[in-house]
Amino acid sequence: RAEALGLAAALEHCVNDWRQRLAPARIALEIESALGSMEPSRGLALFRLIQEAMTNVARHSRATRCEIDMDKFGSGSHQALF
């Protein structure tokens, strides 16, 4: 799905699914626009990381809020903060 939609759209779709599953918990997603220029293989890896992180939130926490902030630093270093 990540390849077909593009990284940002795929992440939005993924997070929206989790919003429905974990309601009434609030899930915020912030994506820097520069992430769209990421190599497809790195984007897919990042998408899978977010999926796994959300699975862990659902299974192992009783969180009422989850924030995901994704940024690009320097010449290609990316960071996702939860």
Cross-strand bridge partners of residue 21:
none
- CA distances from residue 49 to 24, 53, 70, 74 in whole angstroms, order as listed: 23, 6, 12, 21
Residue-wise pLDDT tens digits, 8-45: 888 999 999 999 999 999 999 988 776 667 788 888 88
What is the pTM for the complete model shown? 0.77
CB neighbour list of residue 1: distance below 8 Å, 6 or more residues apart? 10, 13, 14
